[in-house]
Chains A and B, each alone.
Chain A
Amino acid sequence: MSTLAHPASGRRNTQRVRKWGPAAIVFGIGMALWQWVLPALGVERYLLPPLSDVLQAFWDNRSELVRGGWITFKEALGGFVLGCSLAFGFALVLARWRPLGSALMPYMIAANAVPIVAFAPITNAWFGTLSPWSKVVIAAVLCFFPVLVNTLRGLTSLRPESLELMRSYAAPQRVVFARARIPNSLPFVFSALKIASVLAMIGAVVGDYFGGSTEALGVQIVSSVSLAQYETAWAAILVASLIGIAFYAAVALAERLVVGWHPSIRAGVD
C-alpha cells in the first residue's frame, strides 16, 4: 500500500478532514474533559466516574453488557417494527377513507401528547415483568404516533395536479396509492422512522427499569446503581447509546437507499 495518495483521492481526503475534523476535535475535547477536568474539579464518582474507569468497567463486563444490549435491542426492534407497521397501515386506511381520518385524528393527536412511558409499570402488569412483550409494547406505542401523523401527511400532501393526473388516467384508488400517494409519503415516513428508532430504544430501556429479565440492559443499569457500581452503570448507558446511534444510522442508510430522489437526500449525494 502506497502512502502517496492519488491527487483526486488526496483532495477527497482533504475534504473529508475538513468535514469531519471539527467534530473529531470536539469529540477529543469532550473525552479529555470527562477524563481529566471533571475529576480535577472534584466531581464525585457517583456523579460521573472518569472515562477510563467506565471503559475498564465495560471491558470487565463486556459479555454481560453485550448480551444485555442485544436483549434490549431486540425489544426495541420488536416495538419499532410492530409500532411502525401498524402506524403505516393505519395511515393508509385513514388516507383512503378521509371521514374516518377526520373522526379519529383529534384523538390520535391527543393520544400523542400522553406521556406513554408512564404506562410502563402497567404493561409489566399486563404481560408479566419478565416478559419482553411489556417493553415491546411500550416501544411500539412510542413509535406509533409520530409515524402515523407523518405518514398521513405524506399520503395526503400531494399537489392537486398530481392526483388529477391519476384521475385523467382513470386510475383506481389502489393504483393512486401505489404509484402516487405512497411514493410521495416516503420522505415523511423516513423522517418519522428515524425519530421512532430513537423512541424505541428509550421505550425498551425505560421498560427495563420497571423490571425484566436480569440480563436486559436497563435492568443492569438499575441494579448497578443500586449496588453503587457507577462505572458499570455508565458502561451500560454507553452501550445503550451506541445501540441507539447504530439503529438511527441504519434507518438513515435505508432512507438514502429508498428515497435517494428526494431533495433533502440529493443535497448530500453527488
Chain B
Amino acid sequence: MKPSEAVVTARGISKTFGKGGVTALQDIELDVGRGEFISLIGPSGCGKSTLLRVIGDLVDPTSGEIRVNGKSARQARLDRDYGIVFQSAVLYDWRTVAKNIALPLELMGFNRAERAARVQELLSLVELDGFEKHYPWQLSGGMQQRVSIARALSFTPALLLMDEPFGALDEMTRERMNDELLRIWTEIRSTVIFVTHSITEAVYLSTRVVVMSPRPGRITSVLPIDLEQPRTRETREDPRFFELVTEVREALHAGGADDVVEEPEVVE
C-alpha cells in the first residue's frame, strides 16, 4: 500500500486515562488503506472503543499522531469524514426514527425532500420500513442499533467507524446485516473500521483483522484475510474461512486473550 492511499495512519498512539491511570492504548501503529474493511478484535477492555474514539477525534491520545485522509483527525472530523456507530444505539429519545436518521442530513443542510427520500432508502436498507414514525423506546435494542447504522450511513461518510454494531442482534439478523454492510461498503466505496467480539464475523467481513490484547492495550497481530470478494453464503462454508477463523483464534490466545467470547460453531 502506498502512503498516499492510506485513509488512516496511526503512529505511536498511546492513551492513558487519568494521571498514572489505566493505559488503554500503548504504541498503536496502524495503516488503513482506502476501501479497506478492518476489524478490531480483542478481549473486553483492551482498548478497541478507545482506539476508535481516538481515530474519530472524540478523545485526544496522550501521545502519537493520527492522520485521516492526509489531514489531522480534528480536521477530518470538522470536514465530516466520519460516520460513527457507537457500541450502544445513542438515539435521541425526542426524535422519531425518521428524524433520528435524518439528524446528520439536517445539520449538513439537506432540504426536506432530499432528507425524506434518503430516509426511505435507508429504512428499507436496515429493514425498518414503516417504523419512521416510531420513537426509539418503541423499538427493540437490535432495531435501535439498526436505526443508528442508518443514521451513520445517511451522509455516505468516507470513513465508517463502527463499535460492535451488531452485538445486540440475533445470529440470523446479524448475518443478514453483515451482508448488507458488505453490499453498502462495496457500493459507496467507503473505508470501514469495525469492532467486534465475534471471530467469524471479523473473518467474514474484513480485508484485515487487527488482533489486540489488554493491559496495556496494544496490537499483537494483523492478519490479512484473503477470502474472495464479494463474500457470500459460500464464503462461510469455504475451508479457507475455517482456517482463517482458527488463525485469528490462535492469534487471540497468543495475545493472552483467553477470555474472548466465542460463539459455538456448527460442525458439519
- Given A161-B86, A261-B135, A266-B137, A169–B104 Cβ distance below 8 Å? yes
Write the nearest CB–CB distance from B48 to chain A, whole angstroms.
15
Stretch from A13-21, A134-142, A179-187 that touches the partner: A179-187
Determine the chain A residues whose CB is within 8 A of the CB of B82 once the complex forms: 168
Write the nearest CB–CB distance from A34 to chain B, whole angstroms.
44
Tell me which of A167, A169, A180, A263 contacts B92 (CB under 8 A).
A180
Interchain CB contact under 8 A, A261 and B93: yes
Would you call B84 an interface residue if the criterion is a C-beta within 8 Å of the partner chain's C-beta atoms? yes
Determine the chain A residues whose CB is within 8 A of the CB of B92 once the complex forms: 162, 179-180, 183
Would you call A170 an interface residue if the criterion is a C-beta within 8 Å of the partner chain's C-beta atoms? yes
Interchain CB contact under 8 A, A170 and B93: no
Interchain CB contact under 8 A, B93 and A167: no
Would you call B58 an interface residue if the criterion is a C-beta within 8 Å of the partner chain's C-beta atoms? yes
The complex places the Cα of A168 from the Cα of B94 at a distance, in Å, of 20
Interchain CB contact under 8 A, A167 and B86: no
A157-174 near B? 1/0 per residue, CB < 8 Å: 001011011011111000
The complex places the Cα of A183 from the Cα of B92 at a distance, in Å, of 9
Determine the chain A residues whose CB is within 8 A of the CB of B77 once the complex forms: 167-168, 170
Write the nearest CB–CB distance from B150 to chain A, whole angstroms.
14
Would you call A238 an interface residue if the criterion is a C-beta within 8 Å of the partner chain's C-beta atoms? no
Tell me which of A164, A169, A170, A183 contacts B86 (CB under 8 A).
A164
Interface residues of B in 80-118 (CB under 8 A from A): 80, 82-84, 86, 88, 90, 92-95, 103-104, 106-108
Interchain CB contact under 8 A, A170 and B90: no
Interface residues of A in 214-270 (CB under 8 A from B): 259, 261-263, 266
Interchain CB contact under 8 A, B80 and A169: yes
Secondary structure of the B contact surface, majority rule: loop
Interchain CB contact under 8 A, B84 and A183: no
Of the listed residues A162, A167, A169, A171, the one surrounded by the most CB atoms of chain B closer than 10 A to its CB is A169
Write the nearest CB–CB distance from A95 to chain B, whole angstroms.
17
- Given A168-B82, A169-B104, A170-B80, A161–B90 Cβ distance below 8 Å? yes
Of the listed residues A159, A162, A165, the one surrounded by the most CB atoms of chain B closer than 10 A to its CB is A165
The complex places the Cα of A170 from the Cα of B83 at a distance, in Å, of 12
Would you call A93 an interface residue if the criterion is a C-beta within 8 Å of the partner chain's C-beta atoms? no
The complex places the Cα of A111 from the Cα of B88 at a distance, in Å, of 40
Would you call A175 an interface residue if the criterion is a C-beta within 8 Å of the partner chain's C-beta atoms? yes
Write the nearest CB–CB distance from B155 to chain A, whole angstroms.
9
Interface residues of B in 39-60 (CB under 8 A from A): 53, 56-58
- Given A175-B107, A179-B103, A165–B90 Cβ distance below 8 Å? yes
Name the 10 nearest CB pairs between A and B, nearest first.
A161-B90, A183-B94, A170-B78, A168-B84, A261-B94, A164-B58, A161-B86, A169-B107, A261-B135, A168-B82
6 A-B pairs (CB sep. < 8 Å)? A161-B88, A164-B90, A169-B80, A169-B103, A261-B94, A261-B135
What would 6 more interface pairs be, CB under 8 Å, given A164-B53, A179-B103, A261-B94? A161-B86, A162-B92, A165-B86, A170-B79, A179-B92, A261-B93
Interface residues of B (CB under 8 A from A): 53, 56-58, 77-80, 82-84, 86, 88, 90, 92-95, 103-104, 106-108, 135, 137
